[in-house]
Amino acid sequence: MYLNADLIRIARRNYDGARRFVVVNPLQGKHVPVSPSKAIAMMGDLGRAVKNAFPDEKFLCIGFAETASAIGVVVAGILDAPYLHTTREHIVGVKDYFFFQETHSRWAEQKLCADGWKDLCKGVTRIVLVDDEISTGKTIRALVALLRKNKEIDGDMRFTVASIINTLDSDYERYLQEESIDAAYLLKASNSSFDAETESITLVMDIPHSDGMELDVRPHFVEYGGKVEPRRGVDIKTYIAACDLLAEKIIGDVENIRSMKTKTALFLGTEEFMFPAIKAASVFEKRYPEIDVKCHATTSSPIAPSKKDGYPIQNAHGIRSFYAEDRGTFVYNLMEYDLAVVVTDTEFNDGQLKNSVDSICGALAANNITNIFIAKWGR
């Protein structure tokens, strides 16, 4: 059983939008560094909650980018379900998408690959939409409405939203029920006080940015093949096996640069690409229990940092996105580590890739992290 104190920290969005607050989950491996084993355990608990609530069904899992892309993988693994996640990125070779809006997000446009949809839905009785937090259900209802219009969806298809945190009030719960969308979650909470909790936090307009820095740091860079693309839809066993293999390769190469004095290590994913970094961190943590291993990820979500006691975002660095030249992205709560491993599936090459690598290395170097390994997973 999870409590508010386990899963909820309230932060201030660093822009004026539809809502002022953002929920930061300290176990999720997104904004706050966390032990990978703790993150995977929490995600697995959500998968088991869905499995227990809906036994003897055939599932398809859809994760919501950015923040639930890794949660969706673990849930799909528990359910032995095919998996894909929504995206804001261009997917090479994809011809058709479902487009919808995530209204409370600064980057509102979302899309879901529609290629191969018939095969993904074959034999499926319930589609599970996986998110980190559900507060109004508007995005869920919008996507479900789109999917129900698709000729490949059986009229008897059932839908469930599975979220780590559920802050739906009674009206929004009723809206889901009226549209026959079930809910499964780990924690039920109220968000009525969350905006008020951010009143003492001001917007921060001068977040340090690492572009253009002259770096003495020279990261180790390795590109790996065999990428499996969850944005297009995957057999979950195939995908997890590919992530396991990638993790073993990364750890093998990291061994060559790891100092015997290494006591702390960070594994950092990039935006939607979270699970492979968490998986590699988990393998490293199990292999070297004497090392304090943490994982989290870069994000496009602007959050105001503050040194206020108990506030979840203590520092912020602006960095170049690994996926879009014109997108501002951030990494939060960096601290000093003996080793940092950045895991990405960027399609960038040459100058664009160098700019992104230099930018993340600048943020890491600003925190006295100089032993840096960049792992790029490509096709």
CATH number where 360 lies: 3.40.50
Residue 207 within a domain: no
Confidence of residue 73 (pLDDT cuts 50, 70, 90): very high
Using the 3D structure, point to which of 140, 168, 198 is the last residue of a domain. Answer: 198
pLDDT reading at 259 higher than 90 = no
Tell whether 253 and 179 lie within a shared domain. no
Tell whether 179 and 227 lie within a shared domain. no
pLDDT reading at 105 higher than 70 = no
Tell me what pLDDT residue 153 has.
77
Using the 3D structure, point to which of 198, 230, 246 is the last residue of a domain. Answer: 198
Tell me what pLDDT residue 275 has.
98
- Give the position of tokens 């839905």: 121
Residues 6+ apart with CB under 8 A from 1: none
- Dist. CA 364–CA 375, nearest whole Å: 15
Task: Write the CA distances from 242 to 112, 247, 280, integer angstroms.
Answer: 22, 9, 11
Tell whether 27 and 75 lie within a shared domain. yes
Tell whether 263 and 311 lie within a shared domain. yes
* Average pLDDT of the segment spanning 192-206: 94
Bigger pLDDT: 239 or 106? 239
Confidence of residue 154 (pLDDT cuts 50, 70, 90): confident
* Residue from 79, 60, 182 nearest 118 by CA: 60
Tell me what pLDDT residue 106 has.
61
The torsion angle over the Cα atoms of residues 231, 235, 236 and 241, rounded to 10 degrees, is -100
Q: Is 55 exposed, middle or buried (0-12, 13-18, 19+ CB in 10 A)?
A: exposed
Residue 204 within a domain: no
Residue 330 within a domain: yes
Tell whether 67 and 136 lie within a shared domain. yes
Residue 309 within a domain: yes
Confidence of residue 215 (pLDDT cuts 50, 70, 90): low
What is the average pLDDT value for the chain, to the nearest integer? 94
Beta bridge partners of 133: 165
Percent of the chain with pLDDT over 90: 84
pLDDT reading at 155 higher than 80 = no
Tell me what pLDDT residue 183 has.
97
What is the total count of domains within the chain? Answer: 2
Q: Spell out the alpha helix ranges (H) of the chain.
A: 4-7, 36-53, 69-79, 117-121, 138-149, 170-178, 236-254, 275-287, 350-365
Residue 101 within a domain: yes
- Give the position of tokens 């066993």: 237
* Average pLDDT of the segment spanning 144-156: 84
* Average pLDDT of the segment spanning 254-259: 89
* Average pLDDT of the segment spanning 70-79: 98
pLDDT reading at 18 higher than 90 = no
Tell me what pLDDT residue 214 has.
60
Identify the CATH number of the domain in which residue 167 sits. Answer: 3.40.50.2020
Q: 112-116, 184-188, 289-293: lowest mean pLDDT where? A: 112-116
Span 25-36, pLDDT tens digits? 999 999 999 999
Task: Write the CA distances from 43 to 69, 124, 152, integer angstroms.
Answer: 11, 22, 29
Bigger pLDDT: 274 or 205? 274
* Average pLDDT of the segment spanning 147-170: 91
Tell whether 236 and 117 lie within a shared domain. no
Residues 6+ apart with CB under 8 A from 170: none
| Segments forming the whole domain that contains residue 249 | 220-377
Span 322-375, pLDDT tens digits? 999 888 899 999 999 999 999 999 999 989 999 999 999 999 999 999 999 999
Tell me what pLDDT residue 152 has.
76
* Average pLDDT of the segment spanning 189-193: 96
